[in-house]
Amino acid sequence: MRQLPKPSGPFQVGSFDITTKYGEDRCLFRMYYPTKQFDSAFTEGPLWFPCHEYAAGFTNVMKIPSLSRLFGWFFSGLRIPVAWNGDLQMPKSVDKLPVVLLSHGLACNKTTCSNVCTDLASYGTLVASIEHSDKSASATYYFEEKENEVGEKIVEKKWLQYHREQQNLLESRN
């Protein structure tokens, strides 16, 4: 199994994703936190690029969209070394854990800084890696609730790609 480097701290790391609600104005983030010991031979962490849309987002940002399949293939199967949905492990010496909110920066996403997040969590920190839905992320998604033709509620996954601001808009804004 190919994976990112293991964190250097004394704790194993757990992780899960949270989205606050349906709709484009939702808040989506990945939590990283110290967890109980787990056997990495039996635990597969999440994929660093969970689907093609993330690879396509990066290659679009780099202005080489024709290489999205190659980029996706190269990083396919690369996993983040965490226990997905693992139990929180509070260090015995503390009552509260420090919290870090990480913003991925322009044209990245919630998995881009996974090494930093897992390393911080391995030292007893709660880390929330936010994925923005304002089109500053390389790619992100939201869920939209709709009714189908027979009146049943269905949920659709909608993708948002990075949107590069036009230079004249940037100059007038700054």
Which residues of the chain, if any, have pLDDT below 50? 42
pTM of the model: 0.85
Q: What is the largest CA-CA distance in the chain?
A: 57
What pLDDT sits at residue 122?
Answer: 95
Nearest C-alpha neighbor of 35 from the set 100, 81, 95:
81
For domain 12-173, the CATH class is alpha beta
Residue 109: Cβ-neighbour burial (10 angstroms; 0-12, 13-18, 19+): buried
User: Which residue ranges make up each domain of the chain?
Assistant: 12-173
What pLDDT sits at residue 39?
Answer: 61
What pLDDT sits at residue 93?
Answer: 82
